[in-house]
Each structure stands twice: as structure tokens, then as C-alpha cells.
Structure 1
């Protein structure tokens, strides 16, 4: 482990929290997204079921999850701790380095509104799929397993499939790719890494994350053609441009780069 990178990452977590509370007002999460209920139901119905208990895929998931114990307390673990927050506006700062800005250096109500709606729809689809069947989380299958975040008893015993956080992360990545096509690869990578962080955190199995990412991508694809999303695009792009003109960037980008370079088990 690189001690300097680890200390830098610890620092950036604090900076992100301070930025969210001091430079941006807390946004009330939207009670609805941009997709109609019928569209959400259709996307949920299209999601496959989780692996059957004891099946080769289930066993492979559990073996892969067990290997992630090796990352506990390292740089990638600390980044996963940060990624556990997926609600805007704070979660949008996960994309600072990919975007080359410091979100929080300018007011971004249109961007926050757009991503709040994306959060609502991606999470809603994931929750509908979870309601069909229950798959225990890694930290429930193994009560001795450490999560990288504070988890209540109800949270520990809640459904693992699909990963709602992976769905939201992937949807954010796709939405940012629409806003900034030149940075599409970079923002999609971060959206994917938010899902990877759920493996590091022992909150989900690989199949859960893969299913969540597929949901997030489908939600973003359908949302992008709605009038509500398109109405926010121009304003959100202008807000990102204003943040870039501030000249401020996230001081934790070097630490993030080092953490993302961690070889996964």
C-alpha cells in the first residue's frame, strides 16, 4: 500500500463532505423521475433472476467475493467507502476527476435535478426486481465479514440482487456521457467503479453488480430521450462549463488514480 496515496484519499473524503455541506445546498430527493411507471415496470420485468443457490454461478460469486477480503483497509477500500454515498449532490463529486472539474465550485441546480431523477428511476427499477426474490448479501451469508460502511441490521439482511448502487452509478455514467461526450469513456469508467466498490464493500456479489449495471444503462438510455431529461441538458452543460471555468479541480485525483490502479483479486 502507498501510504501517501492512502492519506491523500482519507483527506479527499473529508474535502468532499465539506464541499457538499458548505458550497452546495442539500437537495431534496425527487419523489419521481422522468420515466413513467409502465416504463419502470417494463425494465424491471426484463431483468433476469439471480443465480440459483448452489449453482455454478452462485458458487463463483461467493468465491470471488471472498477474495475481496484482501482489499480491506487499503486504498481501494477507502474509495469504496466514499462510493457508498450514491445520492446527489454529494455522489456527483465521484465524477470530479473524470470530468476535470470540482463540482461544488459552482451552483448546479439543473444537474442536481437531472441526476436526482436518474437516481429515482434507476433505484426504483432495482427495488422492484429485489421485491421479486431475496438473495442474501455477502455480509449476511458471512456475519463475520466486514462491510466498508456502517450497516444496520435491516441493511445487512436486505436483498443483494440486483445492486441498486451499481444501477445508479452506471446510470450516472451514461447521463454524464450524454452531457460530456468527449469524456464518455472516463465517466462510464467511474460509473462502473461505483459498482465495483460494492464488491469491495462486501455488500454485493458480482452477479448483483452486473445486473445492476445493466438496469442503470437501460434506465439512462430510456431517460435520455424524454422531454424532462432533454430540457435539463443545456442548463446542466452550462453549469458544468461554469464549474470548469472556476479552474478548481478535486485535490484527491492523484489518490483516486492510485486507488483505481489497485489490482482486483
Structure 2
């Protein structure tokens, strides 16, 4: 039943992308994004103590394949802003529909660009294989092409974006900040469960996402957008629509990782 609720919620919360008209693609200048990427430490060397610990931890997570936590990881793989808003429904306690929150979607689109670009620049410095790249027979909780399996793992771009999204929601709805940042973190954990990344990839991705948001939050453009986004969130709070997936999400997150 929990899995059915998770999948059903993923379907029923889908909405087409809606953005503020003519919004710029990013908040940060390319030089700032490059500096964020340059600050990411190197990946653990192959065969190092940390690398071996990451591999061992990833192998233990095989026990979660096809569980409720695996299904949640499948949902978390969707990071397009208009759809990813649904990841925070339970943290907020009410649903924020992308259709009625165009400024919030626009914010997340710009944050997605900046956070992901920083992660991609950091990945370009050196190659670390993904768990599903090191073991081509290992299942992932999403459809992964051969090119996807062969793409670099460090740092995790999804963890970077997830953490940045969590910081955005926390800043715009501070009364729900702890729950919002937790979901941002759990999006990264889902990449471990999904066998797409190792623990070090996710930890550095989260750190990068939070650092990116600190720079974004200081920009006048974000501060101006935040005024309208807070009004959208306030209207959603008043409407008080809730997600049917919250009980299943709580149960999935309560299960300890192996």
C-alpha cells in the first residue's frame, strides 16, 4: 500500500512547467559558479580508505532494492522544478501547485541551473565511476542509459540540486525550515539508495548546494523574487491542500539505512 501511495502521488502531482515570463536563466555569474566548483575538494582516490568505505556502504544499500525507500528514491530522481515541488509537500504540510506558483518555479529553475552547473564543472576535473558504472549489472531505481552509467559520479549533481532546493524552501517558509532541509538531504540519500552515487559524492554535493544557495540568497534578484514566492506559498497554505503520499513518505524515511 505504501508503494502504491508513493507512485500515485508522483503521478497526481505532475504539472507542466510554469515560469515567470522572461526570467533570466541563472542568479549567479559564471565566475561565481566556477569559484564554487573550484572549492569542491578532490574525490577520494581509487583504493583509498574513503573510497573502500564508500564502496562497502553502497554494497550494503543493495538490501533496499524494491523496498518503500527504493520507491521514494525513484520519486526523488525527478528534479525538474515544476515536478520537484511535490517533494516538499509533506515538509510544508500543504501542497504548493506549480500552476499557481510561477515565481517559485522560476526561482527553482534558476537555482537548478546554477547548482547543476557548479556540480558539472567540478565533475569535469576528474572521473569517478558511479556504483552502477562500476557494476553494469547493478539495478538502479530509474531508467539509466549506457551513457548515464558511464557518466562521472563526483560530486553528485542531484544532491547539489536537492540541497539547494531544500535551502530555498527553508528560506521562503522558515517555520518549516528543518523539515525542508531534511528533504533536501534525503534527495541526496536517495541517490545512494538508487546506486547512482557514493556517500562522498553526496556529502560534497550537499555542501556545494548549500554554498551555492548562500551566494544566490545574497543576490538582489533572488531577494526580489522571494517576495512574490512567499505570497504564493501563503496562498497555498490557506488553500490547505495536502498530499496523499505523506504517510508513506514518513514510513519510508523512518526505515534505517543498512
Shorter-chain TM-score range? over 0.9
Which residue pairs with 1:259 in the alignment? 252
Q: 1:70 aligns with which of 49, 63, 70?
A: 63
Question: Considering only aligned residues, what root-mean-square deviation do their CA atoms show, in Å?
Answer: 1.7
Separation (CA, whole Å) in 1 of partners of 2:22 and 2:71? 26
Normalising to structure 1: TM-score of the pair?
0.93
**Runs (5+) with no aligned partner, structure 1:** none
Alignment length (residue pairs): 258
Separation (CA, whole Å) in 2 of partners of 1:73 and 1:49? 33
**1:223 and 2:216 matched:** yes
SS in 1 for 2:132: helix
SS in 2 for 1:121: helix
Q: 2:110 aligns with which of 114, 117, 127?
A: 117
Q: Deviations over 1:137-180 (max 9, x none)?
A: 00010111100000111111000000000000000111111111
Which residue pairs with 2:124 in the alignment? 131
Normalising to structure 2: TM-score of the pair?
0.96
Contact 1:106/1:239 (<8 A) preserved: no
Separation (CA, whole Å) in 2 of partners of 1:112 and 1:135? 32
Which residue pairs with 2:167 in the alignment? 174
Which residue pairs with 2:6 in the alignment? 9
- CA 1:37 to 1:80, structure 2 compared with 1: closer, same or farther past 3 Å? same
**Runs (5+) with no aligned partner, structure 2:** none
Contact 1:106/1:243 (<8 A) preserved: no
Shift of 1:26: 7.8
Contact 1:93/1:103 (<8 A) preserved: yes
Separation (CA, whole Å) in 2 of partners of 1:29 and 1:200? 37
- CA 1:59 to 1:52, structure 2 compared with 1: closer, same or farther past 3 Å? same
Separation (CA, whole Å) in 1 of partners of 2:117 and 2:141? 24
Separation (CA, whole Å) in 2 of partners of 1:30 and 1:208? 31
Contact 1:138/1:205 (<8 A) preserved: yes
Contact 1:27/1:89 (<8 A) preserved: no
Q: Deviations over 1:96-153 (max 9, x none)?
A: 1101121227611110111111111100000000011111000010111100000111
- CA 1:25 to 1:228, structure 2 compared with 1: closer, same or farther past 3 Å? closer
Contact 1:6/1:255 (<8 A) preserved: yes
Contact 2:81/2:108 (<8 A) preserved: yes
